[in-house]
Amino acid sequence: MHFDLNNLIRQNIKDLQPYSSARSEFSGEARVFLDANENSFGSPIKNLSITETDYNRYPDPLQWDLKKKIATIKNTDAEKMLLGNGSDECIDLLFRAFCNPQKDNVIICPPTYGMYKVYANINDVEAKEVNLLLNFQLDIKSLEASIDENTKMIFLCSPNNPTGNSLDREDIEIILNNFDGIVVIDEAYINYSRHRSFLKELNEYPNLVVMQTFSKAWGLAALRLGVVFASAEIIEVLNKIKPPYNINQATQELAMLALDHLQQVNEMIKTTIREREFLENKLKQLSIVEKVYPSDTNFLLVKIKEATSVYNLLKTKGIIVRNRSNVVLCDDCLRITVGTKEENDVLIQILQNF
């Protein structure tokens, strides 16, 4: 027998460029994490216990208690909701449900969240790239020209990662009104934005899918809990293909507890926005900073002289940020998560001495 693993791997997996985080690129011990857009101010469940539960039983496969609680806060219906093991599982399920491998395509708008393209590649689906304009808004004409009979989905991240800005609402509505496929609006950072969510438009647009997450404002990144809001018909399709127990019991219980502390979450959001404004003002005063882009998120995209050298210096100091210099339209840019006041002070002090 001559076993050759290489002959068994699907070609699209061989060609796959996997997602890479700043922490996967970092070796050593870090003291300040400003790379992954987590909530720097903690979570509402830090000191809560769920040890009374007996974990020998499988969890509710459709997470009804948790969905009903989320639905009350979001003013929507539990039947119009799917919970995923992070937003990443939600993205993957959308590809599996609606895209035929090697036939269909989706449209993404770089610079944007990298996992849309990764999951397209994993599922052997073409990801057409229509770059944002220089002001980080949608290029509507180019986007419409890219749509063909095999275009099944358009992914829009608003507020956008890594740029931090919200996409123009009228542009999104143009797409919703004129595209026959599914429009996915990723609202992972909506809690930090002055713009309203598209959740209220679910009844108006049957092709609309809204994604949100507990990883950012809710401070629960470690639980891996993403949410899809869509029509009951779309949710029914996704429920058919999701793993039966994709949200474990501990995650369901901890999320339920967190939902009882909405005021604490709102206070953390206010604190984050206040620190974002402080950090933005301090960065603008530095001679090495060329531009701080407007942000509706808990991070800032910063155009900086010798960005890669600055990134490497920060690594030596145990401070992790995200180097976005190799991303389209983000030349010489670092993405910096808003930290606590102490973390932001340490960052600014080091940058002042560069």
Reading phi first (left if > 0) and then psi (alpha if -120 to 50, else beta), residue 306 is in: left
Q: How confident is the model at residue 57 (pLDDT cuts 50, 70, 90)?
A: confident
Strands 289-292 and 105-108: unpaired
**What number of other Cβ atoms are within 10 A of residue 1's Cβ?**
2
**Rounded CA separation 5/105 (Å):** 29
pLDDT at residue 250, rounded to an integer: 92
Strands 182-186 and 151-157: parallel
- Among 56-60, 69-73, 230-234, 322-326, the least confident range: 56-60
Count how many residues are written for the chain: 354
Q: Which residue ranges form the domains of the chain, and what is each CATH number?
A: 9-42+263-352 (3.90.1150.10), 64-260 (3.40.640.10)
**Rounded CA separation 277/31 (Å):** 23
Please report, rounded to a whole number, the percentage of residues in the chain having pLDDT higher than 70.
90
- Among 32-36, 189-193, 208-212, 255-259, the least confident range: 32-36
Residues 113-127 pLDDT 10s: 999 999 999 999 999
Please report, rounded to a whole number, the percentage of residues in the chain having pLDDT higher than 90.
82
**Rounded CA separation 235/224 (Å):** 19
Q: How confident is the model at residue 137 (pLDDT cuts 50, 70, 90)?
A: very high
Measured between alpha carbons, how far is residue 138 from residues 109, 148, 151, 210, 265 in Å?
7, 18, 17, 18, 31
pLDDT at residue 234, rounded to an integer: 94
pTM as predicted: 0.89
Mean per-residue pLDDT, 84-106:
95
> Do the beta carbons of residue 292 and residue 283 sit within 8 Å?
yes
pLDDT at residue 32, rounded to an integer: 73
pLDDT at residue 17, rounded to an integer: 72
Residues 207-221 pLDDT 10s: 999 999 999 999 999
Mean per-residue pLDDT, 57-79:
95
Q: Spell out a b/e string for 225-244, using b for 16 or more CB atoms within 10 Å of the CB, else e.
A: bbbbbbbeebbebbeeebee
Q: Kindly state the tokens that stand for 234.
A: 């779309």
pLDDT at residue 15, rounded to an integer: 79
Residues 222-247 pLDDT 10s: 999 999 999 999 999 999 989 989 99
- Among 31-40, 107-116, 314-323, the least confident range: 31-40
Q: Kindly state the tokens that stand for 351.
A: 């940058």
**Rounded CA separation 135/163 (Å):** 10
Residues 183-193 pLDDT 10s: 999 999 999 99
- Res 52 pLDDT > 70: no
pLDDT at residue 71, rounded to an integer: 97
Beta bridge partners of 300: 336
- Res 19 pLDDT > 90: no
Q: How confident is the model at residue 82 (pLDDT cuts 50, 70, 90)?
A: very high
pLDDT at residue 310, rounded to an integer: 97
